[in-house]
Amino acid sequence: MKGAVKEKSGIEPPASPVKARKGEEHFWNGDIACAEGAIVAGCRFFAGYPITPATEVAERAAERFKSVGGVFIQMEDEMASMNAILGASWGGVKSMTSTSGPGFSLMMENLGLGIMLETPCVVVNVQRGGPSTGLPTLVGQADVMQARWGSHGDYEIIALSPSSPQEFFDLTIRAFNLSEKYRIPVIILADEVVGHMTERVVVPPVEEIEIIDREKPSVPPDLYRPYRFDGGKIAPMAVAGEGYRFHVTGLTHDERGYPAMNWEAQDKLVRHLVAKIRNHVDDIIDLEESYIRGADIVVVSYGISARLAMDAVEDARREELRVGMIKMKTIWPFPEARIRNLAQKIKAFVVPEINLGQIVREVERCAAGKAEAIPVSHAGGYVLDSKAILDAIRKGARIKK
């Protein structure tokens, strides 16, 4: 479960996440697959609040966690849910919550606390149409920038995006692994369609699944420091009740975790929070590439839109258009280097997403005028029409470079 092939190039057809996989077969919707993936990852604490279309994640957790020695609690709101999972994580228990748009907004405050305290945990957002209450039962992908920038202040974040129940299962495990490794809340940006569609999900034998647990301190308590601001390295994490008697705060702090109200401390801390992700993008970014070699158009998409996009790519290839595909399983950090590199060689990127232009702006920024970035947009409530994506590919093919 190390994620799929990274930055692979060539003329390979798309990988099927379930094809030729050995293991126990299930017929699960994405939300259930997520809760089951969390259990496999070792998550034993779930705090949540009902919200469509993410409720099934919580319901599955409520049904299952007790039987695996875990705890489920329904909190009074999403602010409480987010805090409860931080508290549980500092108790040494892998923890998660799940929500959708309005709840995700409420979680932003304490997502920031999780980032500041460097707390491993997983936050699932099964996206629906917004803004505000929007379309509770219908799909959207418009929380991409909120996932990146939604909490105040400067920071880096990790966000993963599944395009099938199988990937929802796989990426939930990966989200826990990344959160434990980098001591950071990891967001899973799913969407209503992936959350509610039911498909075959193969659970591999436990011994084949890589599980990463946070590094524990090896020094005596009087030498322990909860943080380390040094080139993006991650400090081992003590948890409550082990005698380390640590202090952590949402205030700007030093490596001891003590408040430090000055610009020098701020500079060290914030640069560390950013560096610990930016210095490890090669480990974190997981792209699934198809037909990239020789392509002069590359479709960049994620979540349910990536599946529709793949249909359009296959159709375009039947028209002998030279088009490749990048399915982003990691949305944040953004694969800047890959887009920058491809922009030198191709004519255009086509970016289908169920919003009015979020990832396309990132693509445009990284392409820096070397290749066009053509959006395929939808305000939400329905999946994209693969014909609209095909039209955008054709438009890209007509560009002279």
- Alpha helices for 70-163 (secondary structure H): 78-90, 101-117, 144-149
Please tell me whether residue 21 binds other proteins under the rule CB under 8 A: no
Strand, coil or helix: 212? coil
The residue from 34, 40, 115, 325 that contacts other proteins (CB under 8 A) is 40
| Interacting residues of 133 by C-beta distance below 8 A, sequence separation 6+ | 102
Candidates 50-58, 60-68, 262-270, 350-358: pick the segment binding other proteins (CB under 8 A).
Answer: 60-68
Please tell me whether residue 243 binds other proteins under the rule CB under 8 A: yes
Q: How far is the CB of 48 from other proteins (least distance, A)?
A: 12
Candidates 7-15, 74-82, 228-236, 290-298: pick the segment binding other proteins (CB under 8 A).
Answer: 74-82
129: which strand partners? 135
What Å distances lie between residue 21 and 174, 200, 221, CA to CA?
A: 17, 11, 45
Is the bond preceding residue 259 a cis peptide, omega within 30 degrees?
no
Size of the site for other proteins (CB under 8 A): 59
Furthest-apart CA atoms within the chain: distance in Å? 68
In angstroms, the CA 53 to CA 26 distance is: 21
Q: How far is the CB of 217 from other proteins (least distance, A)?
A: 13
In angstroms, the CA 301 to CA 291 distance is: 14
The residue from 25, 63, 264, 267 that contacts other proteins (CB under 8 A) is 63
Please tell me whether residue 185 binds other proteins under the rule CB under 8 A: no
Candidates 88-96, 263-271, 272-280, 348-356: pick the segment binding other proteins (CB under 8 A).
Answer: 88-96
Please tell me whether residue 113 binds other proteins under the rule CB under 8 A: yes
Binding mask 192-211 for other proteins (x = CB under 8 A): -----------x--x-----
Q: Which is nearer to other proteins, 18 or 75 (CB)?
A: 75
Q: Quick check: 359 and 299 in contact, CB under 8 A?
A: no
Please tell me whether residue 45 binds other proteins under the rule CB under 8 A: yes
The residue from 138, 235, 248, 346 that contacts other proteins (CB under 8 A) is 248
Q: How far is the CB of 137 from other proteins (least distance, A)?
A: 26
Please tell me whether residue 83 binds other proteins under the rule CB under 8 A: yes
Q: Quick check: 349 and 172 in contact, CB under 8 A?
A: no
Kindly report the backbone phi and psi dihedral angles of residue 19, in degrees, each rounded to the nearest multiple of 5, phi listed first.
-60, 135
| Interacting residues of 302 by C-beta distance below 8 A, sequence separation 6+ | 141, 161, 163, 189, 327, 328, 329, 331, 353, 359
Structure tokens at 22: 């050995």
Q: Which is nearer to other proteins, 26 or 394 (CB)?
A: 26
Q: How far is the CB of 193 from other proteins (least distance, A)?
A: 23
- Say which residue the tokens 């409530």 belong to: 381
The residue from 75, 145, 274, 379 that contacts other proteins (CB under 8 A) is 75
Nearest Cα neighbor of 196 from 384, 300, 60, 378 is: 60
Q: Which is nearer to other proteins, 215 or 258 (CB)?
A: 258
Q: Which is nearer to other proteins, 66 or 401 (CB)?
A: 66
Task: Provide DSSP, 287-337.
Answer: EEEES-TT-SEEEEE-HHHHHHHHHHHHHHHHTT--EEEEEESEEES--HH
The residue from 99, 110, 161, 301 that contacts other proteins (CB under 8 A) is 110
Interacting positions 212-241 with other proteins (CB under 8 A): 240-241
In angstroms, the CA 123 to CA 388 distance is: 32
Q: Which is nearer to other proteins, 253 or 347 (CB)?
A: 253
What Å distances lie between residue 300 and 203, 246, 314, 378, 384, CA to CA?
A: 28, 44, 14, 15, 14
| First-last CA distance in the chain | 40
Please tell me whether residue 76 binds other proteins under the rule CB under 8 A: yes
Binding mask 316-335 for other proteins (x = CB under 8 A): --------------------
Please tell me whether residue 108 binds other proteins under the rule CB under 8 A: no
Please tell me whether residue 379 binds other proteins under the rule CB under 8 A: no
Candidates 57-65, 124-132, 265-273, 283-291: pick the segment binding other proteins (CB under 8 A).
Answer: 57-65
Binding residues for other proteins, per CB under 8 A?
24, 26, 36, 39-40, 44-45, 47, 63-73, 75-77, 79-93, 95, 109-110, 112-113, 117, 203, 206, 240-251, 258-259
